[in-house]
Structure 1
Amino acid sequence: MPFEVLGEDILLSILCFCDVCTVLAVSATNKPLRRVTLSKQLWLSLVQDSSFRTALELPPPDREEIENYSTEELIGFVKSAVGGPGPFDCPSATITYTNYKIPLPPLENNPDAQLLPGARYILLQNTNWQELYIYDVWSARRIWQRTVQIGTICKVDLVPGGAIARVLLAQPFPYPNKKLHIEEVDLITGLSHQVFELGVATERLVISRYAKYVISGDFFLCTMLHSLVYDAKYTLVNWRTSTFVDRGNGPNYAVKLIPGYIVLTDLEYYPSQQQVLTVTALEQFSEGWQPLSDAGLAAAQLRARDPPIPNIVRERLAYNNQPLGWHSVDVDLAVTPSALCRGAYNISVKAGELPGPPTLIEKIGNLVPARRRRLRPPVHEVLLSYKFIPTPSHGRACELRLVSAQRVSSTTQTSSPRALVQWSGDSIIVSYRQPEWPPTQGHAK
């Protein structure tokens, strides 16, 4: 039976479960369904969708206000919201601000304030401060508090579609009881309980305060140092099953975890000596998992061999056919969910171009010590933006597509936050920035 013969109410209900990309594709390719895709009820559903608003770090919707907008105005809001953050940097752009203030008890030093994904919750932490807090920005309510040792490393993962946070806490060297554990926090009730603990019972393992930790879902990725010297390994741990797989050496990787995948930049030493962006499915490691021993992760790591690393997507980084190298600037990596395509991700990589072959004049000039610095080729930084679409359920290969490439300054960030944090006395103010919509009506709070 053709899809179009279903009643409009049924079609509308089905489309309300879709993302913006799907609705636009249906509207452009199916004339009989175009009228349904222009329904105000559909666009109200899209504008209020939690995945859409979380990806764009939008404040809670004013339902009474948006009910008064037409379909055209709702579509305009989606366009302006997705079009940022570029308009924020334009002098002629009209930006509205929705501000939330969180009063805090008097503190000797302002702690580091980190907005968690979606900008609904904020984590307060200070390396010289023995308390950790999670606040609900919209209600200014303190949800969770934990007393920790000075220097404890804290990483937080929010469970998609729920009100659960998983907090990874790593106690670094030189504490004798160094360990790593994960707490699960109910963001509604504030109740928490420990779901994983990794005790470290060997002097050969050092959990450094400079180590990298990333947590996503049932997995966390960490850098473990087997000595105080430059000797690091990335280890992927499934904390729910207490198993691990050794990712191999690589202290200079830029790495992120997203549901089901590891995204990282790697250096291809031969033959190109250029940076490579790799997206690897966790299921590719299915044969390499090992149980964590009672003695902790270090002993298991020392016994493990580095397995071959299966790649699912591999992209050499280049700009205008010029490879992006490793020795000029550090590589920055940012991965954010797509607001338009549910399940897809935006990946941004900032790296430096490798200098081209020296010209004859440069070769001659470099023979003179006083001129070497002046004749060194300039190194440019480049920002590459990709769209990553994971493997669909029907088995097609996943897609990593270059969206844009541009030269940028050294201060350019890989991702521009829409929500900003600033201190005001003993309070924190979180400002959500939005291009003004509709043009004749502002809604700043």
Structure 2
Amino acid sequence: MPFDVLPEDVLLSILCLCDVYTILTVSAINKSLRHIASSKQLWLSLVQDSTFRAALDLPPPDPEELGSHSTEELIDFVKSSVIGPGPMWPRGCSSATVTDLELPLDEMGDRPAFRLLPGARYILLHSITQAKLYIYDVWNARRVWEHAAEDHTICQIDLVPGTSIARVFLAQPVPVDYSEQHTLHIEEVDFTTGLSRQTFELGFPTSSFGTAYAIVGDYFLCTMLYSLVYDAKIELIPGHIISTYLESSATYHQILAITRLDAFTTYWQPLTEACLTAQLKREPPTTPITVKTALGYDNRPLGTRSVTVHLTVTPNALRRGAYNVDVHGGEIAAPETIMGKISNFITVNRTPSPARQALLSYRFTPTLSCKGECQLRLISGQRVFSTTETSFPRTITQWSGGSIIVPYRQQEWPMRRVPKYVK
């Protein structure tokens, strides 16, 4: 039976499970489904979807306010939200509205270090005086988790999309003889109930723990000290490892590489102290890279032997399961010409030009099958002096008295459309 002959309520329920890209594609190529793909109920469901809002760091939805807008206004709001609110300065450049949420912390007694987690709903606090880690729900100022933590504790958190479940990785220093050893611990936390359970404990202190680490789902990845990939930048997404590393050939190109996690299954072993020691002593296996590309802009390689690149991976708001991969780094200078050398010799007090840097933006679309091909596509590349030129944060968290203020910046609602009347 053809898909488009199903009852409208069934088709609407199916489309409510789709992402923005799929809905827009369906409405563009299938005339019989265009009516359902343009229904207000569908776009209301999309605008309030937690995964969509988390990808764009949007504030909590207001169902009553959203319901007052037409379908066309909801679609325009989705498009403008994906583009972003633009820069804050100079004044008047941004047409964004700001929603401030306050997190009172007077009982803390100090100003703990804080970090807003991806999605901008939860915030991680580290109080040195109380030797504790806290996670608060910014939307309702509720404490959802706490854990004892000494100074120099390393904490990484994975928020499971579309749920209130988080997995927290902790590497805590062992305060014995300044051995620089860590205990590794992972627990799963339900932010709704506040209940947590331990899912992993290394069982012995280790001094081989590196500084590059990531956690996602049921996987935890870290580089080990003295390993050949210690200087790599690593990000984990479901089913894949995204990394940058310096090519060992004479060209010293920076490489962006993506590898399927299941490509390492032949190397997985039970994690014991003896097994870990043996793995560190032997030569590392050849990395089974799924897809890779040399990083460069305007025919110049990105990064140098002494300067690494910066890697950022975020969910794509339009395509569910796809990711935005941004790589920022300095360009390797082109060979100086004879005229350039003469100019430098004559101009003694010449002010040096700022370092040339580039920002490359990719879209990575994983495959759903083991045999399918992943897609890594370069979306844009531009020369910048710093990431602030193109990075316009939607939230700039700050202290105010004894509270943390989280301002959510979003695009203003489009002007209401005046219906056209036919004379």
TM-score, normalised relative to structure 2: 0.89
Q: Which moved more, 1:414-423 or 1:31-40?
A: 414-423
How big is the shift at 1:388? 0.5
Aligned-residue RMSD, C-alpha: 2.7
Deviation per residue, 1:3-28 (Å, 9 max, x gap): 23223222222211111000111111
Q: 2:289 aligns with which of 304, 311, 314?
A: 311
Pair 413,105 (structure 1): closer, same or farther in 2 beyond 3 Å: farther
Work out the percentage of aligned pairs sharing the same amino acid. 54
Q: Which amino acid in structure 1 is aligned with residue 374 of structure 2?
A: C
1:77-116 map, 5 Å? 77-86=77-86, 88=88, 91-107=92-108, 109-116=110-117
Separation (CA, whole Å) in 1 of partners of 2:370 and 2:279? 37
Residue 88 to residue 6, structure 1, CA distance change in 2 (3 Å): farther
Matched, 1:255 2:259: no
**C-alpha distance in 2, partners of 1:66/1:375?**
54
* Aligned ranges 1:45-194 → 2 under 5 Å: 45-86=45-86, 88=88, 91-107=92-108, 109-125=110-126, 130-172=131-173, 175=176, 178-194=182-198
Number of positions where the alignment pairs a residue of Structure 1 with one of Structure 2: 413
Deviations 1:406-437 (A, max 9, x none): 11123527854322211111111111111110
Alpha carbons of structure 1 residues 303 and 399: separation in structure 2 relative to 1, 3 Å: same
Q: Which residue of 2 aligns with 1:390?
A: 366
5+ residue gaps in structure 1? Answer: 226-230, 234-248
**Deviates further, 173-182 or 142-151:** 173-182
What residue in structure 1 maps to residue 309 of structure 2?
Answer: 331
Counterpart code for 1:5: V
Q: Which residue of 2 aligns with 1:9?
A: 9
Offset from partner CA, 1:138-168 (integer Å, 9 cap, x none): 1101111112222111111112222111111
Would the aligned equivalents of 2:133 and 2:148 in 1 still touch at CA under 8 Å? yes
Q: Per-residue deviation at 1:120?
A: 1.3
Q: What SS does structure 2 have at the residue aligned with 1:18?
A: coil
Deviation at 1:126, TM superposition (A): 5.0
Q: Are the aligned partners of 2:255 and 2:293 in contact in 1 as well (CA < 8 Å)? A: yes
User: Does the 8 A contact of 2:316 with 2:323 survive in 1?
Assistant: yes
Q: Which amino acid aligns with 1:324?
A: L
| Bigger shift: residues 69-78 or 119-128 | 119-128
Change (3 A) 1:388 1:283: same
Q: Are 1:328 and 1:379, in contact at CA under 8 Å, matched by a contact in 2?
A: no
Q: Distance between the aligned counterparts of 1:320 and 1:39, measured in 2?
A: 45
**C-alpha spacing 1:185/1:4, structure 2 compared with 1 (3 Å):** closer
Sort the Cα spacing of 1:328 and 1:291 in 2 relative to 1 into closer, same or farther, 3 A: closer
Deviations 1:176-214 (A, max 9, x none): 673111121110121222211113356xx3546xx2321
Q: Which amino acid aligns with 2:325?
A: I
- Are 1:201 and 1:295, in contact at CA under 8 Å, matched by a contact in 2? no
Distance 1:220 1:352 in 2: 30
Tell me if structure 2 keeps the 8 A contact 1:173–1:207: no
- SS of the aligned residue for 1:96 comes to strand
TM-score normalised by structure 1 residue count? 0.85
Letter in 2 for 1:434: Q
CA 283–369 in structure 1, closer or farther in 2 if over 3 Å, else same: farther
Query: Quick one: structure 1 residues 142 and 34, their matched pair in 2 at CA, closer, same or farther if it must change by over 3 Å?
Result: same
Return closer, same or farther for 1:74/1:394 CA change in 2, 3 Å cut-off: farther
Change (3 A) 1:127 1:255: farther
Matched with 2:420 is: none
Distance 1:294 1:352, change over 3 A: closer
Deviations 1:269-328 (CA, angstroms, capped at 9, x unpaired): 32432111111110111211122124573x243344310101111011111222113247
State how far apart, in whole Å, the 2-side matches of 1:294 and 1:327 are. Answer: 34
Q: Which amino acid aligns with 1:198?
A: L
CA distance in 2, matches of 1:126, 1:13: 46
Unaligned runs of 5+ in 2: 418-423
